[in-house]
Structure formats: C-alpha cells, structure tokens
Amino acid sequence: MLVKLAINGEKHQADVEPRLLLVHMIREVLRLTVTHIGCDTTHCGACTILMDGRPVKSCTVFAVQAQGKELMTVEGLEQNGKLHPLQEGFMAEHGLQCGYCTPGMLMTSYAFLKKHPSPTEDDIRWAISGNLCRCTGYVNIVKAVQHAAVKLAGGA
Amino acid sequence: MIPAAFDYHAPTTIGEATALLTRLGDDAKVLSGGQSLIPLMKLRLASPAHVVDINGIPGLAYIREGEGFLRIGALTRESELEESELIRTRYPLLHDTSKVIADPVVRNLATVGGNLAHADPANDHPATMLASGAEVVAVGPKGERRIPIASFFTGPFATSLRPDEILTEIRIPLPAARSRGAYLKLERKVGDFATAAVAAQLTLDAGGRCEEVGIGLTNVGLTPIKAAKAEAALKGKNPDEATIKRAAELAAEASEPSADLRGSVEYKKDLVRVLTARALRKAVERAQGVTTRA
C-alpha cells in the first residue's frame, strides 16, 4: 500500500505492507535512524515522534495510519546547523547517559514546551512519565528541559 | 515484534465501516486508538485477517453537553478528555480517570470508545462509566441502538456489541446540582494497569442524603464490577463515616480479584475497601462544595 507523508517538512512516500510499524518505516525504509526502537511494547517511549504535533509512540502505530500526516523526528530539531535549545539543554545539563531514551525524551519535551512554556518541575516529570530512562538520569533530564524552557523564553 | 499480515481498510463514513464489518464478520477488528489492539497484534494474541481503521471517519471526536447528556464521541482521545475544561469543572470523576490511564504519550492516541469496546477488566473507563450510569451508542447496518453500560460488559474482553456494530458515542446523564465523583487508582508505576481502582459518583439531595450512588471497580474480576450492594447501602442515607465504611466493606465483598505480581487476593480485596472509602469521601466533599450548576 502506498503511504505518502511528510517528515520534518519533507515529503516521502513508500509502498509498504499494512502490518509495517511506523517506526520501522521511519528507520528502515526512509533511513531516518535517530528515532530509536526500545521496548517495542508501548512502554518506554524511545520511539516517540510527533504526528500532527502530538507525541505518539511510533512502535504502536501502523505506517499506513500515517497516510497524509505531518511527522516530526529529532532530525527536524536542528535548524540551519544550530541545535535546538532542548538539544543544547541535554548537552549542557548532561541530560543523557547511554542516550537510548534521548530521542523520545526530546520529542515529548518539544511538544510539551510548546503547550507549557514555563513549566514547574512537577509538570515536566508528569510530561515525561511515559518515557523511561533506564540509566534513571531523570534529575538531569528535568534540568535539561528547564534549561530549554528558559532559553526559549528568551532568557540567558 | 511483527504482527501477522492483514488487509487494511480505511472507511471514511460510518455506513462504509458497518458495511465492511457486515461483510467481514469475525475476521475483522476495528482499529481506534490502537494502543491495546496493536500491542496484542504484535504479541500475536490477536491476528485479525482484516483491520478496519475508523480514524478517518470525521465527526466522531467531540465532548459536549446536549439532550440531557454529556456526549463523548468514541474517537475522542484520552488527552482531549484530560485537557477539557468542561470535564475538569463538571465531571471530576472522568477527569481523575483520564489522568491515570496508561501514560501521557499513549493518551494522545488512546480513545474513550476504544477503552470501553476493548472491555479489558483492567481498563479504567469501564468502572468510571458504571459509576456514572452511562450508556453507549452502537451503530450497525440496521441503525442505531443505545446500550446501558451495566449490560455492556458480558465477559473478559467481551461486550454486547455485535460484530457489525461500531461504538460511536458515550452518554452520561447531566449531573444534578450536587453530584460529583472521584476515581482512585493504585498502580505500581505510570503506565501499569491498576492493582485495583475504584470509581464513585454521588448525588446529594437537599438534606445531604445520597440520592444517587454509583460505584465501579477496576481490575478485580473477570469483568468490570458494579458494586450494587455497596451502592444500595448508601442510597437514601447520610454519607457519614459509618455508612461509608459499611459501603466500602460491601464493595470489597463484591470484588473477585485473582492473585498476581501486583498482590494477593486478600491484599487486593482490602485495597478495594480502602480505595472505596477514600473515593466516597472525596466524592462527598466535592458534591458538598458544589452550590450552583457551574
């Protein structure tokens, strides 16, 4: 079945089996490999991408369901060679250890900060509660998101 | 994990969808949010030959009051319920529930209709809807029918929906002046099913007595449980501490949990007792706080 969609503003199409999961289409068919496959059971959120602006777990969506949708992955965060404030935050605050959960953390936080530009620590912890970091590096992940919130608000 | 192969159908009207279901019968599964169905297909616990994706049917996602009911379109995402001002201010039982279903990312796809139609006794909305006295609207090739929620769940993962019917709407009677509820869930971690959870909805009359009572239990039986004896123990009475305690004991007696990694039978039954008492106290507090129809 022919699936046409846009990822990070760029149009793509591929002829896929209906059972192909969206994360496999993104990684293996379109070769955008920053999005990770973690638990493959809807728990960990490493595969989180944005579909029409909302974070979803791409291991729990069929590629055919993304027909005509606008997707966003971590590849779309960097603009004109400049890292997104969230990416800078994860670097500056050491928001990643092994890095496996990071793509999902970035996309969930990206959508969250659009809706909640000045969140409390509790708000951030709520937002990322569907994304698991098995290094348990949550303290620095929260700091990284706070760093980005300040930066996006025009602060230092 | 790769699901078994299937034929994918994406109807754009309810008529088209029910015609497909009529033709395909038991070989077809309806795909709504997919947050239960797709994991089951990946584990090959479900291998439908046909998947009928209803996400492309317009007009099935809404939250509004009308004709004496709160009306929720079956394709309404849990996150939309959670973010709704109407739900937050007038339906705290539903708001409580929407905050504890799975996790925030899953709730962006998971639907209210799917949570009910999947009929997993561990799902949260069944208990909520039992406590709310809801009914669901099912549309089939011969038209529409309304099913009271108390007769909707017929067994584990089984409902009174016919194979050619689609659940399109959930209706909850508009709350009376002093009617409020609460949902309390104990889960080991975000995203886990409830060890046990209790939904309670109360309507107080002018004298502060319980005019209407609804109590639903999550994940403590083969189906969601309506704790009818506990409800009866409160009806017409002042919700004082002794009455609440008695109702909580009756709710625990109505539960039929099985032992698993989340706890023993005795533990879960006692948890139902504790959560029922707490949910009732919270519902009473909220109902007493309502002076006018907000």
Asked if residue B281 lies in contact with residue B244, where contact means CB atoms within 8 angstroms, the answer is yes
The residue whose two tokens read 């300040």 is: A150
The residues, any chain, with a CB within 8 Å of residue B291's CB and separated by 6 or more, are none
Q: Where does a domain end: B173, B194, B216?
A: B173
B214-228 per-position pLDDT tens digit: 999 999 999 999 999
CA nearest to B214, candidates B185, B175, B245, B267: B175
Q: Where does a domain end: A76, A98, A117?
A: A76
Residue length, chain B?
294
Average pLDDT over residues B79-108: 98
Residues B190 and B276 in one domain: yes
Residues B184 and B235 in one domain: yes
Residues A142 and A103 in one domain: yes
CA nearest to B219, candidates B182, B271, B283: B271
Residues B228 and B135 in one domain: no
Mutate to test the interface with A, among B47, B105, B120, B187 (most CBs of A within 10 A): B105
A54 touching B (Cβ < 8 Å): yes
Whether pLDDT at B171 is above 50 = yes
* Torsion angle in degrees (nearest 10) through CA of A92, A96, A100, A103: -40
- Paired tokens of A27: 């990684």
Pairing of strands A70-72, A48-51: antiparallel
Residues A65 and A94 in one domain: no
| Cα B169 versus chain centre, distance | 12
- Chain B hits for A67, CB-CB cut-off 8 Å, are 10
Name the residue facing A18 among B1, B6, B102 (closest C-beta): B6
Residues A71 and A11 in one domain: yes
Q: Please tell me the distance in Å from A37's CA to the nearest CA on chain B.
A: 11
- Residue A108, SS3? helix
Average pLDDT over residues B149-163: 97
The residues, any chain, with a CB within 8 Å of residue B34's CB and separated by 6 or more, are A60, A61, A62, A65, B109, B114
The residues, any chain, with a CB within 8 Å of residue B64's CB and separated by 6 or more, are B70, B71, B86
Q: Cα separation of B111 and A69, whole Å? A: 19
Q: What is the CA radius of gyration of chain B?
A: 19
A108 contacts B105? CB cut-off 8 A: yes
Q: What is the CA radius of gyration of chain A?
A: 15
Q: Which of residues 71-100 of B touch A (CB under 8 A)?
A: 79
A54 contacts B10? CB cut-off 8 A: no
Average pLDDT over residues B164-182: 96
How many helices (H) and strands (E) chain B has is answered by 10, 14
Q: Please count the structural domains in chain A.
A: 2
Name the residue facing B105 among A1, A45, A67 (closest C-beta): A45
**Could you give the C-alpha distances from A94 to A137, A138, B41, B237, in angstroms and in order?**
9, 10, 38, 58
- Measure the N-to-C terminal CA separation of chain A; round to a whole number of Å: 49
Residues A57 and A94 in one domain: no
Q: Cα separation of A156 and B5, whole Å? A: 52
Whether pLDDT at B291 is above 90 = no
A133-154 per-position pLDDT tens digit: 999 999 999 999 999 999 999 8
Q: Where does a domain end: A46, A76, A106?
A: A76
- Residue A40, SS3? coil
pLDDT of B290 reads 72
The whole domain housing A107 covers 85-152
Whether pLDDT at B294 is above 70 = no
Taking one residue from A and the other from B, the number of pairs with CB-CB distance under 8 angstroms is: 79
Residues B41 and B130 in one domain: no
Residues B69 and B30 in one domain: no
- Chain A hits for B38, CB-CB cut-off 8 Å, are 21, 42, 60-62
Asked if residue A63 lies in contact with residue A3, where contact means CB atoms within 8 angstroms, the answer is yes
The whole domain housing B76 covers 63-173
B200: domain CATH number is: 3.30.390.50
Q: Cα separation of B247 and B228, whole Å? A: 10
- Classify residue B58: in a domain, yes or no: no
Q: Cα separation of B251 and B272, whole Å? A: 7
- Paired tokens of B179: 């009617």
pLDDT of A156 reads 55
B10 touching A (Cβ < 8 Å): yes
B35: domain CATH number is: 3.30.43.10
Residues A50 and A93 in one domain: no
B7-60 per-position pLDDT tens digit: 999 999 999 999 999 999 999 999 999 999 999 999 999 999 999 999 999 999
B102 contacts A19? CB cut-off 8 A: no
Q: Please count the structural domains in chain B.
A: 3
Residues B218 and B273 in one domain: yes
Whether pLDDT at B156 is above 70 = yes
Asked if residue B5 lies in contact with residue B27, where contact means CB atoms within 8 angstroms, the answer is no
- Classify residue B17: in a domain, yes or no: yes
Q: Where does a domain end: A16, A44, A76?
A: A76
Residues B25 and B111 in one domain: no
Residues A71 and A90 in one domain: no
CA nearest to B86, candidates B72, B101, B99: B72
Residues B185 and B257 in one domain: yes
- Chain B hits for A133, CB-CB cut-off 8 Å, are none
Confirm whether the ipTM is greater than 0.90: yes
CB atoms within 10 A of CB B154: 12
- Classify residue B2: in a domain, yes or no: no
Q: Where does a domain end: B151, B173, B195?
A: B173
Residues B138 and B205 in one domain: no
Asked if residue A47 lies in contact with residue A109, where contact means CB atoms within 8 angstroms, the answer is no
B103: domain CATH number is: 3.30.465.10
B192 touching A (Cβ < 8 Å): no
* B292 pLDDT tier (thresholds 50, 70, 90): very low
Q: Please tell me the distance in Å from B82's CA to the nearest CA on chain A.
A: 13
| Cα B279 versus chain centre, distance | 16
Asked if residue A99 lies in contact with residue A92, where contact means CB atoms within 8 angstroms, the answer is no
- Paired tokens of B46: 């479900």
Residues B218 and B135 in one domain: no
Asked if residue B146 lies in contact with residue B168, where contact means CB atoms within 8 angstroms, the answer is no
Asked if residue A73 lies in contact with residue A7, where contact means CB atoms within 8 angstroms, the answer is yes
- Chain A hits for B104, CB-CB cut-off 8 Å, are 55, 108, 126-127, 129-130
- Chain A hits for B109, CB-CB cut-off 8 Å, are 56-57, 60-61
A10 touching B (Cβ < 8 Å): no
- Chain B hits for A129, CB-CB cut-off 8 Å, are 103-104, 190-191
Q: Cα separation of B170 and B65, whole Å? A: 11
